[in-house]
C-alpha cells in the first residue's frame, strides 16, 4: 500500500488530483444535462443592424414555411470567424447560411479552390440572371479564381462629406472642384490661424499616415493595388508609389492640409463637430453611423463626389462590405437559396436598410425607389441615397485575396516610413518623395512575396 501511495504522490500531486476529479465531474454533468437544440436552418449574422432588419422576414418566412424554418443566430464577429474557419478546415458543422464581412469571407479563399468552404454560386447566379440584377463590382471581393462564392449585401461607395456651413459662409463654390488639386486650392483660404499659435484652426481633409481608413480609400480610387488580377502581391506597383508620395505632401511639411482624427471615437466626433476638419471620406454605412453617433452635425454637412486623382478620373471609391454565403456541405441549399433571394432582393428590406443605416442596396432594379430621392436633413436636404447610387456603378473592383489586409498593413508601414524620411530630410516635393516611396515598396514587396509563398496551396495553383 505504501508503495502504491508513493507512486501516486510521485506522478500525481494532490493539486493535480483535485483538478482531475473536477474535470471528471464536469464531463459527467455535461453529458447528462439536457441539450437545447435550435430548430430550423441556422443562419449566422455578425452585424446587429442586419440581424434586427432580418427578424421580421424570417418570422414571415417561418409562418409560410413551418416545415422549413430559418433560425437567425447573432454572433460576435470574432466568434463567427473562428467557428466558420474551424468548421471549414476540420469538416465540422457550420451554419447553412453565413453572412461574414469582407475580411472574414476572404480568409476562406486561402487554400485550393476545391477546399473553399462556401458553395460555388456562379452557375446559380448566371442561370437566374442575378449577375445582371446586382451591381457588378460588388461581386468582386467574393470572387476567387473566376468563381463567385457570395451574394453581395451592399456596394459601399464613398463620397466626400464637407462642412457646408463653413464653406458656404466663406463664399466658396465647390462646383469648381474636380480634382484633389482643385480641392486643396479652392478651400485653402479656410486654413487660417486666428489664435496666433502658428497652426491653422482647421484643416481640409481627415487623413493620416497611421490610420488606414483614408489612405486605403484613396489608393483604390487612384487605381493603386495591393494584389494583382492573378492574386499575386503588387505592393511595388508604380501607382502605389505615386499615391504614397502625394499623400505625404498632404500630411507633412509646412504646407500640410490633413489632420489626424480618430475615425470612430467620441473625441473624433467632437473634433468634427467643432470644425477642426472640412472634409472626410465617408462610405454610405459611415454616413449612417454619423447620424446615430454625432447627430449635432446634422444640417452642417453636404456630400459631393470625391475629387478625382487626376482630371477625368474616378470620383468615388469603396470601403467595407458583407456577403451571404452557403456552407458547401449544406443539405438544405434549395430552401436557403430561396430565403436568401427573398431577403436580399426585397424592396422592403432595401428601403429599411437605407432608412436605418444609410446603406444602399446592390440590386440595381431597386435604385429607382423614391426613398433614395428623399431630402436628407442630416446632409442639408440633399438626397444622400441618390448621391451614393450615382457613384455605385463606378466603385473600384477589389480582390478577394486573404492577403489584402497584410498588404494594406505593409502599405501603411511604408507610408509612415516615408513620412519619417520626409521630415528627417525636409523633403516635401512629390517627385523627390516618389523615388524613396518606390524603394520602400520594393523592399516591402520582397517580404510580402516571401510571406504569401509560405502558403504552399496557393503556390501550386496554376
What pLDDT does 198 receive? 74
Tell me, yes or no, whether 376 and 237 share the same domain.
Answer: no
What pLDDT does 6 receive? 57
| Residue 186 resides in a domain | yes
Task: Pick the more confident residue, 114 or 286.
Answer: 286
Which of the 8 DSSP states describes residue 37?
Answer: P
Per the structure block, which three cell numbers stand in for 232? 499575386
Average pLDDT over residues 267-283: 96
Average pLDDT over residues 34-44: 73
Comparing CA positions, the residue from 129, 131, 134, 128 lying closest to residue 365 is 134
Tell me, yes or no, whether 61 and 204 share the same domain.
Answer: no
Q: Cβ(359)–Cβ(342) under 8 Å?
A: no
Q: Does residue 17 carry a pLDDT above 70? A: no
Average pLDDT over residues 93-99: 96
Q: Where a domain ends, among 333, 352, 380?
A: 380
Per the structure block, which three cell numbers stand in for 381? 436636404
| Residue 34 resides in a domain | no
Q: Where a domain ends, among 380, 413, 428?
A: 380
Average pLDDT over residues 137-144: 96
User: 283 - beta bridge partners?
Assistant: 158
What pLDDT does 384 receive? 98
Tell me, yes or no, whether 298 and 430 share the same domain.
Answer: yes
Tell me, yes or no, whether 405 and 258 share the same domain.
Answer: yes
With a pLDDT cut of 70, the percent of the chain lying above it is 90
Distance CA 219, CA 209 (A): 13
What pLDDT does 38 receive? 53
| Residue 162 resides in a domain | yes
| Residue 356 resides in a domain | yes
SS3 breakdown of the chain: % helix, strand, coil, rounded to 5? 55, 15, 35
What pLDDT does 13 receive? 60
First to last CA, the chain: 68
Tell me, yes or no, whether 306 and 435 share the same domain.
Answer: yes
Average pLDDT over residues 111-139: 95
Strands 97-99 and 41-45: parallel
At residue 36 the predicted structure's pLDDT band, cuts being 50, 70 and 90, is very low
Residues 41-62: tens digit of each pLDDT: 999 999 999 999 999 999 999 9
| Residue 295 resides in a domain | yes
For 322, phi and psi rounded to 5 degrees? -145, 145
What pLDDT does 35 receive? 45
H-helix segments, 252-344: 266-273, 284-293, 333-344
| CATH number of residue 248's parent domain | 3.40.190.10
| Residue 23 resides in a domain | no
3 state SS of 432: helix
Distance CA 152, CA 102 (A): 10
Tell me, yes or no, whether 164 and 283 share the same domain.
Answer: yes
Q: Cβ(226)–Cβ(233) under 8 Å?
A: yes
3 state SS of 102: helix
Tell me, yes or no, whether 229 and 371 share the same domain.
Answer: no
What pLDDT does 260 receive? 95
Tell me, yes or no, whether 79 and 133 share the same domain.
Answer: yes
3 state SS of 63: helix
At residue 124 the predicted structure's pLDDT band, cuts being 50, 70 and 90, is very high
Comparing CA positions, the residue from 69, 65, 114 lying closest to residue 96 is 69
Q: Is 36 exposed, middle or buried, given 0-12, 13-18 or 19+ CB atoms closer than 10 A? A: exposed
What pLDDT does 458 receive? 58
Q: Is 140 exposed, middle or buried, given 0-12, 13-18 or 19+ CB atoms closer than 10 A? A: middle
Range of the domain at 270: 158-318+397-459
Residues 145-159: tens digit of each pLDDT: 999 999 999 999 999
Tell me, yes or no, whether 311 and 329 share the same domain.
Answer: no
Residues 249-263: tens digit of each pLDDT: 999 999 999 999 998
How many domains is the chain built from? 2
Tell me, yes or no, whether 210 and 250 share the same domain.
Answer: yes
Q: Is 360 exposed, middle or buried, given 0-12, 13-18 or 19+ CB atoms closer than 10 A? A: buried
Q: Does residue 103 carry a pLDDT above 90? A: yes
Tell me, yes or no, whether 219 and 306 share the same domain.
Answer: yes
| Residue 27 resides in a domain | no
The dihedral through the CA atoms of 176, 178, 182, 183 has a sign that is positive
At residue 457 the predicted structure's pLDDT band, cuts being 50, 70 and 90, is low
Give the predicted TM-score (pTM) of the model: 0.89
For 105, phi and psi rounded to 5 degrees? -60, -40
Tell me, yes or no, whether 145 and 206 share the same domain.
Answer: no
Kindly report the average pLDDT of the chain as a whole number.
Answer: 92
| Residue 105 resides in a domain | yes
What pLDDT does 358 receive? 97
Residues whose CB falls within 8 Å of the CB of residue 309, separated by 6 or more in sequence, listed in order: 179, 180, 218, 221, 222, 223
Average pLDDT over residues 133-154: 96
What are the angstrom distances between the C-alpha of 1 and each of 4, 15, 21? 5, 21, 22
What pLDDT does 15 receive? 58
Rg (the chain; Cα; Å): 26
Amino acid at each position: 500500500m505504501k508503495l502504491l501511495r508513493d507512486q501516486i504522490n510521485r506522478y500525481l500531486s494532490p493539486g493535480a488530483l483535485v483538478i482531475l476529479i473536477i474535470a471528471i465531474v464536469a464531463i459527467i454533468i455535461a453529458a447528462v444535462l439536457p441539450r437545447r437544440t435550435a430548430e430550423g436552418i441556422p443562419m449566422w449574422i455578425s452585424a446587429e443592424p442586419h440581424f434586427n432588419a432580418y427578424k421580421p422576414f424570417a418570422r414571415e418566412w417561418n409562418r409560410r414555411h413551418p416545415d422549413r424554418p430559418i433560425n437567425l443566430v447573432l454572433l460576435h464577429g470574432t466568434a463567427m470567424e473562428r467557428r466558420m474557419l474551424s468548421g471549414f478546415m476540420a469538416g465540422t458543422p457550420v451554419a447553412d447560411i453565413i453572412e461574414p464581412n469582407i475580411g472574414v469571407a476572404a480568409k476562406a479563399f486561402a487554400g485550393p479552390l476545391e477546399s473553399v468552404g462556401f458553395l460555388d454560386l456562379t452557375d446559380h447566379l448566371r442561370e437566374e440572371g442575378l449577375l445582371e440584377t446586382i451591381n457588378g463590382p460588388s461581386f468582386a471581393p467574393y470572387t476567387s479564381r473566376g468563381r463567385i462564392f457570395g451574394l453581395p449585401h451592399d456596394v459601399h461607395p464613398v463620397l466626400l462629406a464637407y462642412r457646408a456651413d463653413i464653406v458656404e459662409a466663406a463664399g466658396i463654390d465647390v462646383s469648381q472642384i474636380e480634382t484633389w488639386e482643385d480641392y486643396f486650392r479652392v478651400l485653402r483660404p479656410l486654413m487660417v490661424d486666428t489664435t496666433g499659435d502658428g497652426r491653422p484652426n482647421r484643416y481640409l481633409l481627415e487623413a493620416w499616415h497611421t490610420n488606414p481608413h483614408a489612405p486605403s480609400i484613396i489608393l483604390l480610387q487612384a487605381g493603386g493595388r495591393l494584389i494583382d488580377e492573378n492574386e499575386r502581391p503588387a505592393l511595388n506597383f508604380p501607382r502605389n508609389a505615386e499615391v504614397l508620395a502625394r499623400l505625404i505632401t498632404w500630411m507633412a511639411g509646412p504646407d500640410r492640409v490633413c489632420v489626424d482624427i480618430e475615425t470612430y471615437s467620441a473625441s473624433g466626433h467632437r473634433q468634427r463637430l467643432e470644425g477642426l476638419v472640412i472634409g472626410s471620406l465617408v462610405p454610405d454605412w459611415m454616413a449612417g453611423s454619423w447620424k446615430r453617433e454625432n447627430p449635432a452635425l446634422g444640417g452642417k454637412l453636404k456630400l459631393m463626389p470625391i475629387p478625382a486623382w487626376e482630371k477625368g478620373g474616378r470620383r468615388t471609391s469603396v470601403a467595407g462590405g458583407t456577403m451571404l454565403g452557403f456552407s458547401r456541405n449544406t443539405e438544405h441549399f434549395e430552401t436557403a437559396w430561396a430565403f436568401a433571394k427573398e431577403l436580399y432582393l426585397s424592396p422592403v428590406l432595401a428601403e429599411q436598410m437605407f432608412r436605418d443605416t444609410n446603406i444602399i442596396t446592390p440590386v440595381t432594379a431597386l435604385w429607382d425607389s423614391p426613398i433614395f430621392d428623399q431630402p436628407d436633413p442630416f446632409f442639408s436636404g440633399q438626397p444622400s441615397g441618390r448621391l451614393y447610387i450615382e457613384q455605385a456603378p463606378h466603385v473600384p473592383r477589389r480582390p478577394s485575396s486573404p492577403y489584402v489586409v497584410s498588404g494594406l498593413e505593409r502599405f501603411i508601414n511604408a507610408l509612415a516610413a516615408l513620412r519619417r524620411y520626409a521630415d528627417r530630410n525636409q523633403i516635401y516635393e512629390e517627385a523627390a518623395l516618389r523615388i524613396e516611396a518606390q524603394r520602400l515598396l520594393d523592399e516591402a514587396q520582397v517580404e510580402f512575396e516571401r510571406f504569401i509563398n509560405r502558403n504552399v496551396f496557393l503556390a501550386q495553383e496554376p
